[in-house]
Amino acid sequence: MPRRHSRRPTERPPARAGSSDHVEVRASGEWNVRPLAGSQREYTCPGCHRPVRPGVGHVLVWPVQKALLSAEAIDERRHWHTDCWRRGLS
Ligand SMILES: [Zn+2]
């Protein structure tokens, strides 16, 4: 029996198109992509190995299918420069 009414009221509705998460299919697999306006921290972009500066818009990417050795796919998330992601991995 479907349990369609089990959603918790505190759960936020999924973001809509425009600035929302989406899935991109690449040769390397399927990736969740979330555009971010900017972070507090600095990250290293896996595409160019340069820093993603705090406050700079970029994309957070993590695999749809988790790797065998990781507990959660979200643990494999990476911060990419938007341009590096667009031209990389394809
Ligand atoms: Zn980069």
Cα of 74 vs centre of ligand 1, distance in Å, is 20
Q: Is the pLDDT of residue 4 over 90?
A: no
H/E stretch holding 80 reads strand 78-80
Cα of 52 vs centre of ligand 1, distance in Å, is 7
Write down the domain spans for the chain: 22-87
Q: Which pLDDT value is given to residue 84?
A: 95
Cα of 63 vs centre of ligand 1, distance in Å, is 18
Q: Which residue has the tokens 């667009």?
A: 86
Confidence band for 65, pLDDT divided at 50, 70 and 90: confident
Contacts of 31 (CB under 8 A, 6+ apart): 23, 24, 25, 61, 62, 63, 64, 89
Cα of 32 vs centre of ligand 1, distance in Å, is 18
Cα of 18 vs centre of ligand 1, distance in Å, is 22
